[in-house]
């Protein structure tokens, strides 16, 4: 029973990360087209890689903060 909950939680986390990435990628592309009028930059692989690295950095920072934060009082 505990194994199933763990897998479900990890799958839910992975899907939420993918959803955040997809929404951020779409918004970044639309903003680039709207304000900078550069279609080549807005939908290039470089922007996708930059967003993926930024999202990965945010996840690593959140996990580091969670690990090294002082314990919460109960």
Does 13 reside within a domain? yes
Cβ pair 21, 51 in contact under 8 A: yes
- What's the total number of domains in the chain? 1
Structural domain containing residue 46: 2-68
Mean pLDDT throughout 50-69?
83
Burial of 7 (C-beta count, 10 Å sphere; 0-12/13-18/19+): exposed
Does 21 reside within a domain? yes
Q: Is 0.75 surpassed by the pTM of this model?
A: no
Task: Inform me whether the pLDDT recorded for 27 exceeds 80.
Answer: yes
CA 21 to chain centre: 5
Does 46 reside within a domain? yes
Q: What is the pLDDT of residues 29-40, one digit of tens each?
A: 788 777 776 666
Lowest-confidence segment of 31-40, 44-53, 60-69 by average pLDDT = 31-40
Task: Inform me whether the pLDDT recorded for 3 exceeds 80.
Answer: no
Q: What is the pLDDT of residues 4-21, one digit of tens each?
A: 788 888 888 888 888 888
């Amino acid at each position: 029973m505990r194994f199933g909950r763990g897998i479900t939680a990890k799958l839910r986390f992975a899907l939420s990360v993918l959803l955040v990435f997809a929404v951020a990628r779409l918004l970044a592309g639309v903003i680039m087209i709207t304000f900078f009028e550069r279609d080549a930059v807005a939908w290039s692989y470089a922007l996708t890689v930059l967003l993926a690295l930024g999202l990965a950095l945010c996840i690593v920072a959140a996990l580091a903060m969670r690990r090294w934060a002082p314990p919460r009082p109960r």
